[in-house]
Amino acid sequence: MAQRLISKNARRVASQELTSRWGGKIVLKSVFEGGKMKHFAVCEKTGNTARRPKDLM
């Protein structure tokens, strides 16, 4: 599967649907902890998390 570079904001508003290697949809989530905003990707099917969506593909 050819992977294109997509901005973080484009992933948040679901302009393009990303799928993981397990067949689930990848969503990007943000959490405010420790005084900083942290972004991470989650596979909805398996619940696996990674720092970047590319790591789940």
Look at residue 2 and tell me if it is in a domain.
Answer: no
Can you give the residue range of the structural domain that contains 33?
8-56
Quote the pTM value: 0.66
Q: What is the pLDDT of residues 3-57, one digit of tens each?
A: 667 666 666 655 567 888 888 888 888 889 899 999 898 999 998 999 988 888 8
Look at residue 1 and tell me if it is in a domain.
Answer: no
How far is residue 4's CA from residue 15's CA, in Å, rounded to a whole number? 13
pLDDT recorded at residue 27: 87
Strands (E), the chain: 18-19, 25-33, 36-43, 49-50
Q: How many domains does the chain have?
A: 1
